[in-house]
Structure 1
Amino acid sequence: MATLIVPGRDEEPWPTLGPQVCSLLEERAVHGPGDLRGRDYTLDAEKRALIYKWYEVYPKGHPRAGKRRFKRCAMSVRKGTAKTELAAAVAFAELHPEGPVRCDGFDARGRPVGVPVTDPYIPMVAYTEEQTEDLAYAALMVMITEGHDADLFDAGLERIMRGDGDGKAVALAAAPDSRDGARTTFQHFDETHRFVLPRLREAHQTMLANVPKRQLADPWSLETTTTYTPGEGAVAEGTHEYAELIDQGKATDNTLFFFHREAKARPDEDLTDRDQLYAAVREASGPAIASWPDFEGQVAQIASLYQQPDTDRSYWERVWLNRRVRAGNQAFDVGQWDELARDHGLISPNRLVTVGFDGARFADSTGIVITDVATGYQQLYAGWESDGTSDWEVPEDEVHEAMAEVFGRWQVWRAYMDPPYWESEVNAWSGTYGEKRVVPWWTNRLKPTAYAMRAYRTAMITGAVTHDGGRALREHIANARRRELKMLDEDAKPLWLIRKERPDSPFKIDFAMAGALSWEARGDAVAANAKPRDGYIYTASSTRRR
């Protein structure tokens, strides 16, 4: 089993508040969302050991006796191991008015005595606003509102307070500013492999720098994640590489505790072999997870995902074996795209949206993708795909009708349209709906298009874009292959475009290009601080369907 634990094994155990924290959790907390929701919280052996480690303190007689040993802790384990719920459980203990999470001296046997934090402030950071509803803060909400001590708290969608008003946990998204962490006693960063944008990395650094501001509260940070894709520059990547430097003796930092487990890659490995595939999943899971009910059933389900023909196997290895694997030649990570599906239905009428249009008239496909400016929620509104016959042609009247529907139903801030094959129609739409709203956006401009592709992919990594889970758009996202250019970006990384796997491939990518154009327009709308007009409904066309 491949694990990295920094620092390594101690010759003598350190004093720890871990047993007291675990007792509180198992006596007073309940499980969050999932199959065990509302049941008394239980800890497996590994999670118990991690809590013991996280709550180690300097021993009696030491100049810093009773203070926390680690100020920053991080864990990197495979998907599906309840790491987010564990972080929520720690937040529960840190917020609880009786949580034994700070040392207030030692008993006669030299064991630390735990007491609660005075006026705790607990930021729980997700990579997008929507993810605060799905990650650790949501689990904490359930633990508190459906638990034994619900009457001790005042819980809301954005903050959970102690009932007496002394302290709170808050949900923060994307890029908290410096004020958000100024009074931190404990803070959690969730899924840090998605923290790739500069503003997310800067927010992480700012909040780490805020930790020393309340020294009497002995504050600390916790990061939980599945491992990262190398080269994306995620916070998880920086933390892991820093831990490796410490482990190699190339850096010194006795305030960091880091835990990572993966299935070790072997030179002769063949994951198409059932026995090797199952063994790799078991290895990545670890012995504690192997004790879960019907663990072998879970192994079989995970293995079946690998065997499916449309699986992105690089992504599968990263999330299920927790290996640092570079993505293949697919332009976009289909697994990440699937995780971003939200069942929100059609975007509500009169919302401010952006539009992307791309396609051909013959043989390929043509699509219209819309994106809600405020939320980043995206969907293929209309698409036409070749039936494979030699005389097939996109029905022009249907495209005009669909475009009229889009401009009639929503407030379109910009529509970015790739003109080839549709130049006269784009000109007509510009005349009908306004030249400032209908913008020809030529995708044969290499550098602007490459930056648009990068922005779209980054939005998927960070979760900034979500979508309705439509099959057709997903297929085009999956079909897109990367074509690297002889150009570098500002970080000296190759720029790239999307292409089909081969020129005559039946697997089309036009909807993916339309999605990227719609997202590019959405980014420009956000940069321009575009706002919808109250009470405004565009009615230039009377042909749209209701």
Structure 2
Amino acid sequence: MHGPGDLRGKDYKLDDEKRALIYRWYEVYPKGHPREGKRRFKRAGLSVRKGTAKTELAAAVAFAELHPEGPVRCDGFRKEGGVWIPVGRPVTDPYIPMVAYTEEQTEDLAYAALLVMVAEGEDADLFDAGLERIMRIGGDGKAVALAAAPDSRDGARTTFQHFDETHRFTLRRLKEAHQTMLANIPKRMMADPWSLETTTTYTPGEGSVAEGTHEYAELVEQGKAKDKTLFFFHREAAPKIDEDLDDFDQAADAVIEASGPSIATWPDFEGQVEAIVSLRNQPDTDKAYWERVWLNRRVQAGKQAFDVKRWESLARPDFMVPKGSLITIGFDGSQFHDATALIATGVESGHQWPLGIWECPSEEENWECPENEVDDVLKQAFNEYEVWRMYADPPYWDGMVNRWRGRWGEKRVIEWWTHRPLQMAYSLRAYGGAMTSGELSHSGDETFAKHIGNSRRHALKQKDDKGKPLWTIRKERADSPFKIDAAMAGDLSWEARCDAISAGATRSTSSELYTASSTRRR
């Protein structure tokens, strides 16, 4: 039966596409194969647009996996019309963790749908159902709602597991839970366990589980990774040349393509398409978000400050700025929360790399950035390179910044306050422009890249002299766990490099130019 929604309590029926997916998910090796009867796929991923009932599909699969009569494992073969057909049997003592991205969301996602199916269906007398766990009567098997990995005792018993909306699995604890739980799958081989991940596609650069799964599936498809156990299905509206989504008919066609032929048979599908397209026309709609969730396209969020794909293309991990070269350094951070970063830039090459990035672990409330470690890294940089200037944002580190100014001089270590909107806006525009033009390259550091991707545009009321809007960067919200300090330090380092270029700084002249302070925007 269907879970929460307009069809609640009615018989659950599979459309042709969902039936085909289940056939693939439960495909077994044929009779005569060395592994006959065993599951072909141990990990399945489903990436489709919002509103296609993928979560309820996962709940229905979990229901079959939990049911004491569910024919979800092969118990040999029978011959029909000269063809060997696998015979199904239920799982003995199933353990089914169902993971949501927060504890609150377990009430809205797959576990909640499973709870309705179990508690209100014809076989309700076979289960003892609660808000956190559903057990077979007699204690032989259960499904549990989780927002983190199961404990080691339960985790070793997994027979099927589901991860819901994995584009939201961006926090470290969720990604670690995902890895831990995948590692549990090989432990109970007689039960032939497997994993299912369902999601709307991800925002590039956020480092979500959905992003990792999709990119891994592409590597497998390209032959760059070998994995016979993965099945991945993704549907999106393919972008077209000269596409204009502001045109109602073109936007509607894209929604229809992203929906697929089976969804198009739903009652009043045309009305649903019209409602979806009308959302795009609302004045406050984030059109990049709309494109991601309704067309299932991997597009950068409209409020992201920098183009993450462009940043990826600028990586030069094999390039090293030679020791002794003229460089600039940017510093930004916090001592007791968020993160702290030192980013260097080669003046001649425009190549950036982190000298160090220190992040506050999300689970540590009393974390303090290791001041001595930051100081040691900076000493090493000044010893190994010729540092023309270091631009440092002083709040929270004013004592250390003053110490550095005393050690290396006020003309080399300069306070560069990031709370000045106009100065920051022009600096950030130059930084983004360097990415666009390719003048900038970087080492490919993953943490640095995440901070670039986490940076969100904050529009200013002011405009430049040509009437173009100005913006600065912020986290997505004040208490967000997604850090941006390395992006800010990268900007300050680039700002210092721009000033070095403007001043004509070279290794042979730099000592004379420490006094030639630029008035550009410091």
Matches within 5 A, 1:102-141: 102-109=73-80, 110-141=84-115
Does the CA contact (< 8 Å) of 1:185 and 1:220 recur in 2?
A: yes
Say yes or no: does 1:166 pair with 2:166: no
Q: Which residue of 2 aligns with 1:216?
A: 190
Change (3 A) 1:446 1:117: farther
Q: Which residue of 2 aligns with 1:278?
A: 252
* Aligned-partner Cα distance in 2 for 1:60–1:514: 56
SS of structure 2 residue aligned to 1:501: strand
Of 55, 60, 65, which residue of structure 1 is paired with 2:36? Answer: 65
Query: Shift of residue 328 of structure 1?
Result: 2.2
Say yes or no: does 1:95 pair with 2:66: yes
Does the CA contact (< 8 Å) of 2:170 and 2:209 recur in 1?
A: yes
SS of structure 2 residue aligned to 1:53: helix
Q: Which residue of 1 aligns with 2:119?
A: 145
Does the CA contact (< 8 Å) of 2:456 and 2:475 recur in 1?
A: no
Change (3 A) 1:498 1:286: closer
Of 77, 82, 87, which residue of structure 1 is paired with 2:48? Answer: 77
Q: Which residue of 1 aligns with 2:22?
A: 51
CA displacement 1:113-170 (0-9 Å, x = unmatched):
1010000000001111111111000000001111110000000010000012100000
* Aligned-partner Cα distance in 1 for 2:3–2:256: 25
Does the CA contact (< 8 Å) of 2:303 and 2:457 recur in 1?
A: no
Amino acid of the residue matched to residue 72 of structure 2? V
Does the CA contact (< 8 Å) of 1:177 and 1:203 recur in 2?
A: no
Of 140, 156, 169, which residue of structure 2 is paired with 1:195? Answer: 169
SS of structure 1 residue aligned to 2:176: helix
Change (3 A) 1:484 1:123: farther
* Aligned-partner Cα distance in 1 for 2:299–2:456: 21
Q: Which residue of 2 aligns with 1:185?
A: 159
Of 281, 288, 292, which residue of structure 2 is paired with 1:307? Answer: 281
Say yes or no: does 1:502 pair with 2:461: yes
Q: Which residue of 1 aligns with 2:297?
A: 323
Q: Which residue of 2 aligns with 1:254?
A: 228
* Aligned-partner Cα distance in 2 for 1:285–1:231: 25
Query: Shift of residue 446 of structure 1?
Result: 7.4
* Aligned-partner Cα distance in 2 for 1:518–1:214: 40
* Aligned-partner Cα distance in 2 for 1:320–1:169: 31
Query: Shift of residue 248 of structure 1?
Result: 1.3
Change (3 A) 1:301 1:180: farther
Change (3 A) 1:519 1:270: closer
Structure 2, gaps ≥5 residues long = 307-364, 367-392, 398-424, 432-441, 482-522
TM-score (norm 2): 0.62
Amino acid of the residue matched to residue 41 of structure 1? Y
Change (3 A) 1:67 1:274: same
Amino acid of the residue matched to residue 12 of structure 2? Y
Does the CA contact (< 8 Å) of 2:97 and 2:150 recur in 1?
A: no
Amino acid of the residue matched to residue 207 of structure 1? M
CA displacement 1:476-514 (0-9 Å, x = unmatched):
xxxx9x968969997122554763333389x9x9xx989
SS of structure 2 residue aligned to 1:108: strand
Amino acid of the residue matched to residue 145 of structure 1? A
SS of structure 2 residue aligned to 1:124: strand
CA displacement 1:54-101 (0-9 Å, x = unmatched):
111111111111111110111000000000000000000000000000
* Aligned-partner Cα distance in 2 for 1:485–1:204: 39
Q: Highest CA radius of gyration, 1 or 2?
A: 2
Q: Which residue of 1 aligns with 2:325?
A: none
Does the CA contact (< 8 Å) of 1:483 and 1:499 recur in 2?
A: no
Query: Shift of residue 291 of structure 1?
Result: 0.4
Query: Shift of residue 519 of structure 1?
Result: 6.3
Amino acid of the residue matched to residue 63 of structure 1? P
Change (3 A) 1:168 1:270: same
Identity %, equivalent residues: 73
RMSD between aligned residues: 3.3
Of 240, 245, 257, which residue of structure 1 is paired with 2:219? Answer: 245
Query: Shift of residue 447 of structure 1?
Result: 9.3
Does the CA contact (< 8 Å) of 1:485 and 1:497 recur in 2?
A: no
Does the CA contact (< 8 Å) of 1:229 and 1:325 recur in 2?
A: yes
Amino acid of the residue matched to residue 18 of structure 2? K
Q: Which residue of 1 aligns with 2:448?
A: 492
Does the CA contact (< 8 Å) of 2:43 and 2:196 recur in 1?
A: yes
* Aligned-partner Cα distance in 2 for 1:226–1:447: 40
Q: How many correspondences in the alignment?
A: 350
TM-score (norm 1): 0.59
Change (3 A) 1:485 1:123: farther
CA displacement 1:266-299 (0-9 Å, x = unmatched):
1210011111010000000000000000000000
SS of structure 2 residue aligned to 1:309: coil
Change (3 A) 1:518 1:242: closer
Q: Which residue of 1 aligns with 2:506?
A: none
Change (3 A) 1:139 1:447: farther
Query: Shift of residue 518 of structure 1?
Result: 5.8
Change (3 A) 1:270 1:216: same
Change (3 A) 1:111 1:161: same
CA displacement 1:22-69 (0-9 Å, x = unmatched):
xxxxxxxx1011100111111111001101111111111111111111
* Aligned-partner Cα distance in 1 for 2:476–2:44: 38
CA displacement 1:187-239 (0-9 Å, x = unmatched):
00000111111221111111111101000000000000000011111111111
